A and B are shown apart, each in its own frame.
Chain A
Amino acid sequence: MLFVLDTMVSAADTTQISASSFFGFMGVTMALVLANLGAGYGTFKAGAGIAAIGIWKPEIIMKSLIPVVMAGILGIYGMIVAVLLSQKVKNPLEYSYKSGFAHMASGLCCGCSCIAAGFAIGIVGDVGVRGNAQQERLFVGLILILIFAEALALYGLIVSLILSQS
């Protein structure tokens, strides 16, 4: 099935068969699934570090949960974009190919940014909590790096929201 420019028929023709919703729903799924993959990676990688240090320094476990919380936020970004897009994807009779591709790109932007940010948060969080257990002065540096990593997902969310308006 090829993706013929649907404005080659007149704009008023609403009887055309098209596959535009395929790409719209692909955007919904990619946003959610990839963001959750990133959130999951961040959670388990940082969680392994917390489990390792919690054995011999249990009093800093609650402070060390920050990477896990920040990774969870990525899943929320994915859910926001997925819910937003799923309300815009309609029946192919009313949904142009252009909107379908724009929503596909929107989902891919959010999903890929969140998975990248999740990897960064997980790996930095793992090493950071292990180091923080040995050196208290590390905490501020860890938080700053985690904030920079979270900002990546935010950039993806912003471009996603701009694309979803197309």
Chain B
Amino acid sequence: MNWGNPYDWTAVEWQSATWGERFMYIDPYFWSYFGVALALATSIIGASWGIFVTGVSLLGSTVKAPRIRSKNLISVIFCEAVAIYGVIMAIIMIGKVQTIESYPENQMAQCYTTALFGGYSLFWTGVSVGLSNLICGIAVGVTGSGCAIADAQTPETFVKILVVEIFGSALGLFGVIVGIIQCSGASFLKDCL
């Protein structure tokens, strides 16, 4: 902040501002709320992808083997759990965002960098949680699809392929665990009022 408050900068200052300064003055609240949206949206896209991949196989196989219908709904429930992980993380992340009412005059840099820290941590938490849940939903869905088709043919294979699905749903849990650790340090009001 060589020239004082960047809000007062004119075109002359922006002309000679470095890329680092331009990046740094992107609002921390943008990063945090975009992270929240990414966490939720990509988790739900993963869950939905899993539901339709497994649903079509389930419904198609049930035509000729109606006994598999109720048992294989558990694959759909595993995919739904992925969406719930996304909702839980989104609500945790929203709780971390606090409004900065005012800046202490002598501590402006410290306060702003704490806010930046919070913003960046929430953004990347959103990316990690969202992408993990996306791939988890797809994995559980494709496995569940294979499970339904195999169950329709040979009932003994159901439990064995369910084990593969449980390994798949662990991916979403990894995302949530890492996400909680990643956003635990975000605190907008630590150095500000």
Contact = CB atoms under 8 A, between A and B. Distances in A.
Q: Do A and B come from the same complex?
A: yes
A10 B5 CA distance: 11
A152 interface: yes
Contacts of B163: none
Interface stretch (B19-27, B165-173, B177-185): B19-27
B51 A101 contact: no
Interface stretch (A58-66, A80-88, A155-163): A155-163
A148 B77 contact: yes
Interface residues of A, number: 52
B186 interface: no
A70 interface: no
13 contacts: A6-B27, A7-B102, A101-B29, A102-B33, A112-B45, A116-B49, A124-B51, A128-B55, A141-B58, A145-B73, A148-B51, A156-B41, A166-B97
Per DSSP, are chain B's interface residues mostly helix, strand or loop, or mixed? Answer: helix
A141 B80 CA distance: 15
B99 A98 contact: yes
The 10 closest A-B pairs by CB, nearest first: A112-B41, A116-B48, A124-B55, A105-B33, A3-B27, A105-B37, A108-B37, A123-B52, A120-B48, A141-B69
Interface string A1-31: 0111111111100001000000100000000
Nearest to B5: A8
A97 B27 contact: yes
Nearest to B77: A148
Interface residues of B, number: 57
Contact of A156 (B30, B40, B63): B40
A135 B64 CA distance: 8
A16 to B, nearest CB: 7
Interface of A: 2-11, 16, 23, 97-98, 101-102, 104-106, 108-109, 112-113, 116-117, 119-120, 123-124, 127-128, 131, 134-135, 137-138, 140-142, 144-145, 148-149, 151-152, 155-156, 158-159, 162-163, 166
A117 B62 CA distance: 22
B103 A7 contact: yes
A124 B62 CA distance: 13
